[in-house]
Structure 1
């Protein structure tokens, strides 16, 4: 049990005193970058899906 308590104290000490937390501005900028990248990737996937769908519809229409 003593090892567990010591482990918890070390974890708290590291999180409270040694970890460099981002500022609000840095966090907002990072979140904006992630949001923008996610949106761009979603649009690319949507575009590719639409193109492949049209292509497959064309291929299927040739067989009918």
Structure 2
């Protein structure tokens, strides 16, 4: 158990002393950038999925007739 507690203490020390944190404004800008990219990427995947679904639907309609 002492090893686990030591690991947690060292982890907090690493985060406090050795990690370079972004400024609040930079963090906000990056958050907006990630949100916008996620929305655009999800819309692109939705569009490709819709096209493939229609193509497969037309294919099955074609082979069933």
Which TM-score band (shorter chain)?
0.7 to 0.9
**Inter-partner Cα distance in structure 2 for 1:61 and 1:12:** 61
**Inter-partner Cα distance in structure 2 for 1:59 and 1:4:** 58
1:21 maps onto 2:21 in alignment: yes
Once the two structures are superposed, what CA deviation does each residue of 1:3-41 show, in whole Å capped at 9, x if it has no partner?
766652x44433223321111111111111111111111
> What does 1:26-45 align with in structure 2 at a 5 Å threshold?
26-45=26-45
TM-score, with normalisation over the residues of structure 2? 0.73
Gaps (5+ residues) in structure 2?
Answer: none
SS in structure 1 at match of 2:22: coil
Gaps (5+ residues) in structure 1?
Answer: none
CA RMSD of aligned residues (A): 2.0
Runs of 4+ that moved beyond 4 A:
3-7
TM-score, with normalisation over the residues of structure 1? 0.74
